Amino acid sequence: MNVLSRNVLRRRCATAWTALVLSVACSQQDAPPVALVGDVPITSAELRQFASNVLPGLRPVQQGQAARQDYLQTLIDRQLMLRHAREMGIDREPSVWVEQLLQRRTYLANLYRKRDLHPQAQVTDADIARFFAEHNLGRERLMTAILVQTKAEAQAIQRQLAVGASFAELSAQHTLDPRAAAQRGRIGFVNRSMASRLGVPEVVFDHQPTDVVSEPLPLGRRFHLVRFTEDRQVEVDSQRDLLARELAKAKRREVEKKQVELLAYELGWHLTAQGLAALPSRANAPLFAYANGQVSTEEYLEVLKKHRVTRPEALQDSATIAAFARRAILPELVLADASEKAGYHQEPEAAAHLTKADEELLLKAVYQRQVSASVTVDTAAVERYIAAHTERFTIPESICFDELIAPSPQEAQQLKDTLTGQEDLAALAKARGFPLRPRRADGLVCMHRYNSIPYPQLWRALQQAEVGVLNGPVRTREGFALFVVIRTEPARPEPPQQARQRARATLVQQAEQARFDQWIASLREKYRDEIDISAEQLAAALPDSLLASLGPRE
């Protein structure tokens, strides 16, 4: 058989395995298996479902029996890797079994949340109206701002404003927010809640008079001066959907918090003296105990690593240990326990998901051990690769432009008839709620020839457009684009660090592919006497008619 490539094997399994395990979890097949890998059967149903779900680009190029063997070999190789991992004891290593356990808890806890907790967190129109009124969200203020790096800079601008300088002009000159600079400091209408998220304290929003500039206000590590220039009142309907989502989230958090506390109390969750004494030396012992089980020091230490907690108190101070576990371990543990008591883990779909998730983590761990860890690429090899493939490390000519994407050709044309091409199209799109494509720091969208595949019409129009002239509308995936080309950037070498990173990634991928092929070949040889394939069942599982319907690789 041909050695199946690492990428094909992994991508096939990722795309088809979920449907496969769900289909066979619902019923057991009485027919003889297509193959046995040791004592693990591969059934006709498994193989048929797997082949049907392989994406066109990953299907075998062969036909007939060769295609059947190719599909089957993917499932055999998967079982060989799992068996090898278990024989190595990887499934018993704390980094693996704890991750499997945490993943299981999260899945089951989410089932419990969805079925048992979220229905208790319904939001009514009365809830929305009450929240809207209590938080004075009907008042919106037109916010302008100047964002600078330091408080001293903000104070210097404040002094200029005090002697009559223009807020709009100073914002255009100094603000670090490029969109605000383009709009001369204008942020837009905000309510009390939005202002708070933008670094404006509620007391400032509530009481600062119109056209008065605030004191320097912290915004992360920076500072901004804020001015409100206009007030307006809005109705609750303008914010109903947003408030419904936010209130539902808050109610869910509240319901969950109460349920977690109740379940923890019922289970008798507590920190053990034995585990606390063993933790500083990292000896394994029960650290927390509850009615249905325990959390070991091994599990706790792995969770510390996962959360990147390195403080000594997390190993020595009982209050710190208890608080961390209550936050990072307890909620998923008690909700998963409740989910299991409800029998959710025994449902076919849940059981299939949990099996697949455990196996995927085990495959990832054994791949890391057998393939990734054995591959190294030195700096000299990276430099040689770049020198030999300079064309791969060249940034092609780019066209940078401002754009506005309207939902219909009619609306796009109407806008074009009213615009001159000198407007800030991004600001106009934002004001109208139109989609915005990712932009560079200067606020422009930049494309090169590689974008001609997803955007063929737009790329042709960009190439033909004059700089500074409003063009369009052009149909794109997102809608109908009006655009103004601002500049063209010539082809240039990729920045050295970026080129080295990409070259190293390519060489690592090539080396891993070669190592993976060697490893899979060795597994097939090692276990060849334990692989039993029924040619008759294989032909019956994937008849010619089914293979014809699937077709070869595109």
The domain that holds 426 is classified in CATH as: 3.10.50.40
Closest to 496 measured CA to CA, from 396, 399, 387: 387
pLDDT of residue 178: 79
Label residue 63 by pLDDT band (50, 70, 90): confident
Record the pTM: 0.73
448 inside domain: yes
pLDDT of residue 503: 97
Span 369-379, average pLDDT: 95
- Look at the block and give the residue holding tokens 């401002």: 402
Q: Which of 201, 233, 265 is the last residue of a domain?
A: 233
Q: Which of 454, 471, 490 is the last residue of a domain?
A: 490
Same domain, 362 and 271: yes
Name the residue with higher pLDDT: 387 or 14: 387
Q: For the chain, what is the domain count? A: 4
255 inside domain: yes
239 inside domain: no
Distances in whole angstroms, Cα of residue 309 to Cα of each of 68, 303, 324, 332: 50, 9, 10, 19
pLDDT of residue 27: 43
pLDDT above 70 (res 148): yes
pLDDT of residue 4: 43
Q: Can you tell me the distance from the alpha carbon of 88 to that of 368, in angstroms, rounded to the nearest whole number?
A: 13
pLDDT of residue 31: 76
500 inside domain: no
pLDDT of residue 30: 59
286 inside domain: yes
Same domain, 409 and 331: no
Query: CA torsion 274→279→285→289, rounded to 10°?
Result: 70
pLDDT of residue 23: 46
Query: CA torsion 270→271→274→276, rounded to 10°?
Result: 180
432 inside domain: yes
pLDDT above 70 (res 172): yes
Whether the Cβ atoms of residue 45 and residue 25 lie closer than 8 Å to each other: no
- For 498-523, the three-class secondary structure string (H helix, E strand, C coil) is HHHHHHHHHHHHHHHHHHHHHHHHHH
Residues 475-502 have pLDDT tens digits of 999 999 999 999 999 999 999 999 999 9
Same domain, 261 and 354: yes
What residue numbers bound the domain in which 292 lies? 105-134+249-370
pLDDT above 80 (res 26): no
- Look at the block and give the residue holding tokens 């063009």: 471
What does the block give as tokens for 413? 């044309």
Residue type, 479: G
Same domain, 259 and 357: yes
Q: Can you tell me the distance from the alpha carbon of 36 to that of 56, in angstroms, rounded to the nearest whole number?
A: 27
Distances in whole angstroms, Cα of residue 186 to Cα of each of 140, 168, 429: 14, 8, 15
pLDDT above 90 (res 182): no
Q: Can you tell me the distance from the alpha carbon of 177 to that of 148, in angstroms, rounded to the nearest whole number?
A: 9
Rama region for 38: left / alpha / beta (φ>0; ψ in -120 to 50; rest): left
Same domain, 122 and 61: no
497 inside domain: no
Same domain, 481 and 350: no
The helix/strand count (H/E) of the chain reads as 24, 16
pLDDT of residue 25: 42
Same domain, 49 and 122: no
Q: What is the DSSP string of 349-401?
A: HHHHHHHHHHHHHHHHHHHHHHTGGG----HHHHHHHHHHTGGGGEEPPEEEE
Same domain, 118 and 258: yes
Q: Which of 233, 257, 273 is the last residue of a domain?
A: 233
Same domain, 258 and 365: yes
438 inside domain: yes
Same domain, 304 and 403: no
Same domain, 307 and 266: yes
Same domain, 126 and 268: yes
Q: Can you tell me the distance from the alpha carbon of 302 to that of 110, in angstroms, rounded to the nearest whole number?
A: 22
